[in-house]
Amino acid sequence: MKKEYWYILIIYITMQLSTFLGVPALTFGGVLIGYSIEEMAVYAVVIWIVFSFSVALLATLFLLRKEMKQPSLDRETASVSASIVWAIAGVFLALFAQGLAANIESWLGIDMGSENTQQILSLIESFPVVVIVSSVIGPILEEIVFRKIIFGSLYKRLNFFLSAIISSVIFALAHAEIEHLLLYSAMGFTFAFLYIKTKRIIVPIIAHVAMNTFVVLVQSVFKEDIERMLREAESIQRFIGGLFL
């Protein structure tokens, strides 16, 4: 593995662990200048998330600057038009994989709904700036770390299936929701397929960004409209059902 990749892994892990020091430090600093600890506790989380993710992304892109400048000479790399098609199709593949995994989890008796997602949506409702992290910065970092570096390194030694399974499970475990291991692994496997199909990391990045954005829009911005439509559909269904009784 390239030394730059090791540096990126260290940066990513440090970013994830930095919350345990950064948030308390910001909270304490805010209290010192007059904010209440309750106010500062929330502000500190938002500020640190945006700051740490942004710094990690900038550092990662800096380390990959030489690779990004080099033109691809791999004949197997998908064309631009094919990559666009796969990026769009990838959104639907990821949503399908997520839905299928969610149904299997439900069948196994696992409660539907991700605690991580609900916490992020709660933050977005109060601080819309967080959507930049959840829908853009986060997916870019995850695709670089879990697909380009981890999956890519495994694929040099193993076949696609094993490489995708191992990297996807690591991706799932990184989300710290062991009960939704299948859900996150299914998404990770889909993004690994998109990467190997096109040989372009930008394809799973676009699909991941689009999927996260779609989930945020559905569960926050359009949540009330969707709930109203479901209630209306249910009322119509009851009315039609009553006509045949």
Active site (catalytic) residues:
142, 175
What is the spatial distance between Cα 169 and Cα 154, in angstroms, rounded to a whole number? 13
For residues 22 and 71, the answer to whether their CB atoms sit within 8 Å is no
Query: 117, 89, 101: which is closest to 204 by C-alpha?
Result: 89
Q: Which residues contact 241 (CB under 8 A, 6 or more apart)?
A: none
Residue pair 222/127 in contact by the 8 Å Cβ criterion: no
- 101 class by beta-carbon count within 10 Å (0-12 exposed, 13-18 middle, 19+ buried): buried
What phi, psi does 244 have (nearest 5°)?
Answer: -100, 5
Q: What's the token pair of residue 100?
A: 């299928």
The secondary structure of residue 70, as a DSSP letter, is S
HSE on the CB side for 116, CA within 13 Å? 15
Which residue, chain included where needed, has tokens 């990662």?
A: 60
Looking at 71-128, list the stretches that DSSP marks H as alpha helix, in order from N- to C-terminal side: 80-107, 115-126
